[in-house]
Amino acid sequence: MSKNADPAFWAKANAHLVRYGGAFSPVIAESANGNWFTDADGRRILDFTSGQMSAILGHSHPEIVAVARHSIGELDHLYSTILSRPVVDLAALIAEISPGQLDRVLLVSTGGESNEAALRMAKLVTGNHEIVGMSRGWHGVTGGASSATYASARKGYGPALPGALALPAPDTYRSRFIDDRGVYDWKGELEFGFELVDRQSTGALAACIVEPILSSGGVLEPPEGYIAALAEMCTARGMHLIFDEAQTGLGRTGTLFASERDGVVPQYLTLSKTLGAGLPLAAMLTTPEIEDIAAERGYLFYTTHASDPLPAAVGLKVIEVILRDRFTERAAVLGKRLKDGLQALQQRYDCIGDIRGRGLLLGLDLVKDRRSKTPDPELAQRVARACLEAGMMTSTVRGGYGIFRIAPPLTIEESEIDLGLEIFDKALAASVTAK
């Protein structure tokens, strides 16, 4: 019997763990190193998800391990008003590498927290409360963040916060604003969306929060020009703009920040996942002008792990490694290799409707037929199971779509990309035949 099927382990798990996101994968992880983790049977599994999109430098990166070991023995956690050198140094480094004048930084633990911090500040500074999000955006599961999250997890929890409004997500593959020629009228869609926002608004628009690439919503990449037009519409309404770069920040898309492509600097930018490379660390960035107003009005976002020194020390090392080893450029090059390989598979499998994304954040969209573009989530689940059985961990997005979110660590090797493509090929062949 496979050790992954250990009855005692699963009995204990089923008895004591809250099921927080669907079924657990049928493997027991014992260790992780580099771009792989090892299960209870000693089988190495290629991690094409970077953990929970966070292990951007792979697992147990030796320099990250060294910093964490040193910090846990020297300076781990302090009262939140006590500052340390790692915290101040990390804030200064983030300000240095970020676009525009986003020079004030709040360090917290999770992406949901950093988004809450930005939303809370935008409400205080503008004096308004209405928050606009994308219809397939994901920003967290806490109060304000969940109210601006439309990708999933809304039903059954009662009313969202007052003033939660949505824009149609920019879907270049399935938008209703794609005509019979295949031309996407994204400007028309965006204007239509803001017309609806204006009609619903009570005149208290505070901010719009958006991912430069909507990752959990299906790796939706807005067309060039879209983000700039969105920013202009926000400015015209006196709204602040928040970029959630939890999954796109720090090199994954082939630029240090995904929003660099669009040449737009928001009033707030949030980081998490990739900043800690697997450890809980997040940041909210804003301008000195905005932060000064917020401070004068008594801005409060006081959490137990604000400005913790240990994760800050890790964040310093993460950015150092990404810049020193030119991982941003590496993501662009390896991302092209991965995308070319997926597009080659698309030529062979009619069930692959679309390949999209940038760098090492790509979407593989499975459909029942290409003409209707009908999603095939059941096929996606079969393919995911086949991939895991063949030794590769994958991620499918929620919401009834058959979309794989492919995001291996930036440390991935060419041979591992080729292996991942080979596993996808075999899994597709077996799953389509089974159908």
Q: What is the pLDDT of residues 263-284, one digit of tens each?
A: 999 999 999 999 999 999 999 9
Catalytic residue among 136, 186, 189, 247: 247
Scanning the structure block, which residue is given the tokens 């060039």?
224
395-431 burial by CB neighbour count: b if 16+ within 10 A, else e? bbbbbebbbbbbbbbbbbeeebbebbbebbeebbebb
Round to whole Å and give the CA distance between 403 and 397.
6
- Per annotation, catalytic residue among 136, 138, 291, 330: 138
Provide the token pair at 207.
Answer: 């901010």
CATH no. for 3-60+326-434:
3.90.1150.10
Confidence grade of residue 194 (pLDDT, cut at 50, 70, 90): very high
Task: Give the β-pairing of 104-108 and 44-47.
Answer: unpaired
| Active-site residue, selected from the candidate residues 47, 113, 116, 211 | 211
CA distance 351 to 129: 44
Cα–Cα distance measured from residue 78 to residue 310, given in angstroms and rounded to the nearest whole number: 10
Q: Is 244 assigned a catalytic role? A: yes
pTM given for the model: 0.96
Q: How confident is the model at residue 153 (pLDDT cuts 50, 70, 90)?
A: confident
273 catalytic? Reply is yes
Mean pLDDT value across residues 179-204 = 97
pLDDT of residue 42: 96
Residue 357 pLDDT grade (very low, low, confident, very high; cuts 50, 70, 90): very high
Residue 51 contacts residue 278 (beta carbons within 8 Å): yes
For the domain spanning 75-324, the CATH number is: 3.40.640.10
Q: Is the pLDDT of residue 374 over 90?
A: yes
User: Catalytic annotation on 247?
Assistant: yes
378 is catalytic: no
What do you get for the CA distance between the two ends of the chain, in Å?
Answer: 28
Residue 152 has pLDDT above 90, yes or no: no
In this prediction, residue 22 has a pLDDT band, given cuts at 50, 70 and 90, of confident
Q: Which of 136, 252, 330, 405 is catalytic?
A: 405
121 phi and psi angles, rounded to 5 deg = -65, -40
Which H/E stretch holds residue 208?
strand 205-210
pLDDT of residue 217: 94
Q: Which amino acid, 53?
A: M
pLDDT in tens, 121-151: 999 999 999 999 999 999 999 999 999 999 8
From the list 104, 273, 330, 356, the catalytic residue is 273
Close Cβ partners of 116 (under 8 Å, ≥ 6 residues apart): 140, 142, 143, 144, 145, 301
Average pLDDT, the chain: 96
Do the beta carbons of residue 251 and residue 322 sit within 8 Å?
A: yes
- Catalytic, out of 47, 244, 308, 416: 244
The question of whether 138 is a catalytic residue gets the answer yes
- What is the percentage of the chain residues whose pLDDT exceeds 90? 95
Mean pLDDT of 326-342: 98
Question: Any idea where the domains of the chain sit in the sequence?
Answer: 3-60+326-434, 75-324
